[in-house]
Amino acid sequence: MPAKKKIKDIMHKGVITCSPDVPVQEVVRVVADTDVHAIIVVHPPESVVAGIISHIDLLHLYGKDLLECTAADIMTTDVVDIGIDRTVTEAVQLMLEKGIHRLLVTEDTPDGKKPIGVVSTTDIIRDMRGTRWSWYMA
Tens of pLDDT, residues 67-107:
899 999 999 999 999 999 999 999 999 999 999 999 999 99
Over residues 111-126, mean pLDDT: 94
Q: Give the chain's mean pLDDT.
A: 91
Q: What is the reported pTM? A: 0.85
**Residue-level pLDDT at 136:** 57
Over residues 126-133, mean pLDDT: 73
Question: Which residue has better confidence, 70 or 132?
Answer: 70
| CB distance 73 to 39 below 8 Å | no
Sheet strand arrangement including 112-120: 12-13, 112-120, 102-109, 81-83
Q: How confident is the model at residue 123 (pLDDT cuts 50, 70, 90)?
A: very high
Question: Which residue has better confidence, 67 or 1?
Answer: 67
* CA gap 62, 64 in Å, rounded: 6
Peptide bond into 115 cis (omega under 30): no
CATH class of 2-128: alpha beta
Residue 1 has pLDDT above 50, yes or no: no
**Residue-level pLDDT at 135:** 56
Residue 29 has pLDDT above 60, yes or no: yes
